[in-house]
Amino acid sequence: MNIQSITQYYRKHRKAIVTATSGLLYGGGWSLGYLTSFEMASAAILVLATIVGGYDIAKTAYHEVTNRTLGIKTLVTLAAIGAIVIGEYWEAAAVVFLFSLGSYLEGRTMRKTRTALQELLEMTPDTATVRRDGELQEVPAREVEEGEVVVVRPGGKIPVDGEVVDGESAVNQAPVTGESAPVHKADGDEVYAGTVNQEGALEIRTTGAGSDTTLERIIRRVEEAQEAQSPTESLIDRFAKYYTPAVIVLAIGAYAVTQNAILSLTLLVIGCPGALVIGPPVSIVSAIGNAARSGVLMKGGEHLERAGKIDLVAFDKTGTLTKGETTVADVEGFGVADDEVLSLAATAEKKSEHHLADAIVDAARERPTAATDGGAAVAQADETDASLQSIPGPDDFDVVAGKGVIAHTEGTEVVVGNRALLEDRDINVPSRIADYVREREERGETVVHVVRDGDIIGAIALRDELRKAAPGVVTALQDVGIETVMLTGDNERTAAAVAEEVGIDEYRAELLPEDKQTVIEAYQADGHVVAMVGDGINDAPSLATADVGIAMGAAGTDTAIETADMALMADDLDRIPYAVKLSKATRWNVLENVGLAVLTVTVLLAGVLTSYVTLAAGMLVHEASVLAVILNGMRLLRH
């Protein structure tokens, strides 16, 4: 080992080396004085132990004083200098050594907590196999260009974000989404860097590489969240700003009254607010790290603490409690053929971006095409995309938000929408049609009316299947005392049917996006701390208004990762009870740490005033309390 290597090793492990040297000198000096009569030599070694262990502490204390702030290291430095001045050399060395040891262990533990997620980055391979000029080449993963095709063999780790262009396989994407089961991937599906291809070979067209991958963005987001202070941390920081000078004043006052220097120095040591300052950040950092590894991104300590107070969770229906994969369940024509109703509705809805419109257009395209054979109509099943029905577009088209569409085609006005739209246009609904609509809505389906030139000619029933996890998630939240509410734009009967099937406490139906926001504000005015779970652009106002906005399916959606208070990387409702319980556990953990810190200082203060606590014992207990709150906070890593 050459000098350069030794220097690098010393710089890397300086804290541990200094602490160990200080401890050895302290042990040697104390033994020499206790076992022999070489008191001068013992004192010299103990002073040397104090200097070795206390140099960095005093240096920081100097900067604190010159910056007009008084911190823990200022108190320790004053205590050590004071102990040497009055001849209590072993006390000075003990205080410095114990503080250094505590700081070393604290720093090591905090680094381990903060860098837990970095292990995920190590799962991303350093190299990628890229198809260039018809040949496979192995290149550094960070140098893969957007649009290049990467080949990943079975069992290999995926080096880039991209879209599958060839092959089929199961991919373990737990590092990104927290999903425990592998996800089937085929042409057109998104895959993420750091995930593992388990079965077949995949060819992936790159959309992001190097630092521009979902996993890298998650790590950056989590690191920023871990640095953001919670309200409790900010409060304690403001408290410590005044508390530390008060401890110095108390120590000076105690000396003025008692003339007992040891008592004053001990007050300086036990008055250190170390456990109080370090406790909340450890809890917050541990919880945010745990959540990220489970596929839940928290925006920061402020939002995590607020989530710990949630007592009402509001769910959007479509795409949240349901799969968001709406399909046409039934078409009923009133005086006209069912196919004609569907075809006319599809033409009117062709330019709409609403999910119900997509379902109607898709159903119309997939209907059997009508062919002729010798003049007789013959139904023929579609087998290829080329045989799908062509849907003509409308001549003009208007969207009535939350109600439907009004279009014109070939001189005919076509209205497709709900009862509210029909009421707006004074269109009467005959009892026969109303009975049909009621029957379908009581099954949990959404029904739209199809109107041609003012007459209702048919109705289309659409169904969006519930997520299997929805009833269990609602029950899990109710079990921990949280109220559940469903907010939907659907009609009363459909909302009631879905709410009953899910087991939700309350529902609000026929809401426009701005109505959902108003409902959230009303719950807040009643004193509730509200979380809103949603996934669409329509939910943005209510997500922003809620105390905690929870976005679903954020993987691959940069906006959700960056803006949501809490983002579920996968469309996995089961993560919501987990995230809420983790938030509440974190809140209690922070309170436990604050309580332990305050109790420790109170007991030590009583011990000092009754002469049961010495300077070194005070420092030992103080450092023990710091380690205790760190270990307590780290329990959240395994919650």
Identify the CA nearest to 487 among candidates 311, 356, 321, 317. 317
* Catalytic residue chosen out of the listed positions 187, 311, 316, 526: 316
Residue 464 structure tokens: 């969006």
Question: d(Cα 553, Cα 416) in Å, to the nearest integer?
Answer: 30
Q: Are 178 and 575 in contact (CB under 8 A)?
A: yes
Indicate the DSSP class of residue 572: -
Indicate the DSSP class of residue 294: T
Residue 292 structure tokens: 């990220």
Residue 577 structure tokens: 């009870």
Question: d(Cα 147, Cα 356) in Å, to the nearest integer?
Answer: 33
Residue 389 structure tokens: 């029905």
Catalytic-residue membership of 316:
yes
Q: Are 389 and 367 in contact (CB under 8 A)?
A: yes
263: left (phi over 0), alpha (psi -120 to 50) or beta: alpha
Question: d(Cα 488, Cα 532) in Å, to the nearest integer?
Answer: 12
Q: Are 533 and 315 in contact (CB under 8 A)?
A: yes
Question: d(Cα 494, Cα 44) in Å, to the nearest integer?
Answer: 85
Reported in sequence order, the residue ranges of 67-217 that DSSP labels E, i.e. its strands, are: 127-132, 135-140, 149-152, 161-167, 169-172, 183-185, 190-191, 196-197, 202-208
Helix axes 14-35, 89-114, angle to 10 degrees: 150
Question: d(Cα 540, Cα 93) in Å, to the nearest integer?
Answer: 59
Indicate the DSSP class of residue 386: G
Indicate the helix (H) or strand (E) that contains 462.
strand 455-463
Q: Are 625 and 275 in contact (CB under 8 A)?
A: yes
Indicate the DSSP class of residue 571: S
Identify the CA nearest to 124 among candidates 198, 180, 195. 195
- Grouping H, G, I as helix, E, B as strand and the rest as coil, residue 131 is strand
Tracing tokens 């291809």 back to the chain, one arrives at: 197
Residue 552 structure tokens: 């679903």
Q: Are 176 and 218 in contact (CB under 8 A)?
A: yes
Q: Are 361 and 346 in contact (CB under 8 A)?
A: yes
Residue 9 contacts by C-beta under 8 Å, 6 or more apart in sequence? 1
Residue 162 contacts by C-beta under 8 Å, 6 or more apart in sequence? 150, 190, 191, 204, 205, 206, 207, 208
**What count of Cα atoms within 13 Å lies in the side-chain half-sphere of residue 142?**
5
Identify the CA nearest to 370 among candidates 383, 349, 387. 387
Residue 298 structure tokens: 């928290």
Residue 3 structure tokens: 């000098």
Residue 119 contacts by C-beta under 8 Å, 6 or more apart in sequence? none
DSSP lists the bridge partners of residue 128 as 139
**Geometric angle at alpha carbon 524, from 521 and 530, rounded to 5°:** 100
| Residues assigned a catalytic role | 316
